[in-house]
Amino acid sequence: MFKIESIRTKNLTKNQIKQICILKKFNWNFSLKNQLRWFVNNVNPMDIHVCVIYKKKIIGYTVLRLQKSLAKKKLKFYIIDTVILSPKFRKRKISNDLMNFNNRLLNKHKRPGVLYCSSKMIKFYRKFSWKKLNNKKADLIKSTKRLSCMVYNDNYIK
């Protein structure tokens, strides 16, 4: 049986950070050294790491990184980054539990969530009430042409 827990960056152990970076290598072809460098340069002490743990090993992971909008309103929102599950544990509906856990955290913190994904992943995120970002609200958040921008709790974006 697996468990899901949220951990602030400042409370992660070095071993947990290493496990996260090793897990990320399944999806992104960067060395462990580069993954660790990215982690140090991009993750803040109060960011929330959602870890799926099985037999003391991290098998699934996302990070909720608190950001401010580019607009004058200074809206705060969470970027959902690095949604990943170990290949050995895919097709077991664990990703559903992971996304539901992320949504509960966003609801608890009363913040919108934003993520960027390939077009083939849109259907997956829509199952969890994520929507493609409305063009009127797109100026609040840095966008990219390569990836689709999805939002959850957009009622907090005014």
Amino acid occupying residue 2: F
Please report, in tens digits, the pLDDT of each residue of the chain (158 residues total): 899 999 999 999 999 999 999 998 888 888 889 999 999 999 999 999 999 999 999 999 999 998 877 665 677 889 998 899 999 998 898 999 999 999 999 999 999 998 988 889 999 999 999 998 765 555 555 555 677 788 898 776 66
Other CB atoms closer than 10 Å to residue 150's CB: what's the count?
22
- Quote the pTM value: 0.87
Cα distances (angstroms) measured from residue 94 to each of 13, 60, 132, 137, 157: 24, 8, 23, 31, 29
CA pair distance 20, 146, nearest whole angstrom: 25
Are 132 and 99 in contact by the 8 Å Cβ rule? The answer is: no
| Domains delineated in the chain | 3-156 (3.40.630.30)
**CA-closest candidate to residue 85, choices 29, 26, 128, 42:** 26
Instruction: Write the Ramachandran bin of 33: left for phi over 0, alpha for psi from -120 to 50, otherwise beta.
Output: alpha
CA pair distance 77, 137, nearest whole angstrom: 13
Q: Which stretches does DSSP call E strand in the chain? A: 3-8, 48-54, 57-68, 76-85, 113-117, 131-132, 148-152
Are 103 and 152 in contact by the 8 Å Cβ rule? The answer is: yes
User: Can you give the pLDDT at residue 131?
Assistant: 92
In sign, the C-alpha dihedral spanning 5, 79, 111, 77 is positive
